[in-house]
């Protein structure tokens, strides 16, 4: 239970998961933000206006999956590290998962990174497809992993220092 251990329930996850049909259209952002707090940087980051925090700033963000193009601009802007992008159209067997990352060293493209579940369980070693800096004022990186499609909604972190070279 989220309030006791910080891990969202299956029902929590389902409440913010895009429909299967939306995943078939390409990359889409998922806001796994479940606590009502005054926060809205994600809404400012989204140029498509796909993210809304309404009726007031204390509500959890809602993503309009039909408007979201999965660009990922919201990932590094979320102070709670609660936004991810999933692209299940990457290949027949793999999906891309874009994750916020705030540890050093940052994994590099071409390395393998140890992907973790929401509870910190090691799910496997996955190729780092891309690592993008949040910029000089934002130390949050966006790291993209290629994961088996069945793990696209499970991989939500990278083990700090858990990298190795090549495939």
Closest residue by Cα to residue 27 from 73, 82, 89: 89
The CA distance from 33 to 89, in Å, is 24
Question: What confidence tens digit (pLDDT) does each residue in 87-139 have?
Answer: 999 999 999 999 999 998 999 999 999 999 999 999 999 999 999 999 888 88
For residues 157 and 116, is the Cβ–Cβ distance under 8 A?
yes
More confident site: 31 or 3:
31
For residues 100 and 30, is the Cβ–Cβ distance under 8 A?
no
The CA distance from 103 to 166, in Å, is 21
User: Where do the domains of the chain lie?
Assistant: 2-164
User: CA separation (Å) from 143 to 22, 55, 99, 129?
Assistant: 22, 32, 5, 8
pTM as predicted: 0.93
Question: What confidence tens digit (pLDDT) does each residue in 126-150 have?
Answer: 999 999 999 888 889 999 999 999 9
What confidence score (pLDDT) does residue 4 get? 72
């Amino acid at each position: 239970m989220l309030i006791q251990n910080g891990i969202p329930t299956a029902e929590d996850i389902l409440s913010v998961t895009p429909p299967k049909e939306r995943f078939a259209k390409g990359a889409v952002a998922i806001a796994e933000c479940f606590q009502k707090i005054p926060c809205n940087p994600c809404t400012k980051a989204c140029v498509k206006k796909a993210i809304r925090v309404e009726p007031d700033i204390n509500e959890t963000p809602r993503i309009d999956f039909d408007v979201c193009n999965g660009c990922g601009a919201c990932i590094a802007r979320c102070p709670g590290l609660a936004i991810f992008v999933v692209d299940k159209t990457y290949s027949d067997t793999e999906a891309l998962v874009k994750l916020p990352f705030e540890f050093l060293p940052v994994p590099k493209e071409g390395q393998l990174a140890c992907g973790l579940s929401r509870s910190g369980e090691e799910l496997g070693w996955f190729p780092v497809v891309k690592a993008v800096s949040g910029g000089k004022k934002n130390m949050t990186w966006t790291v993209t992993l290629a994961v088996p499609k069945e793990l696209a909604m499970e991989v939500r972190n990278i083990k700090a220092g858990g990298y190795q070279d090549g495939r």
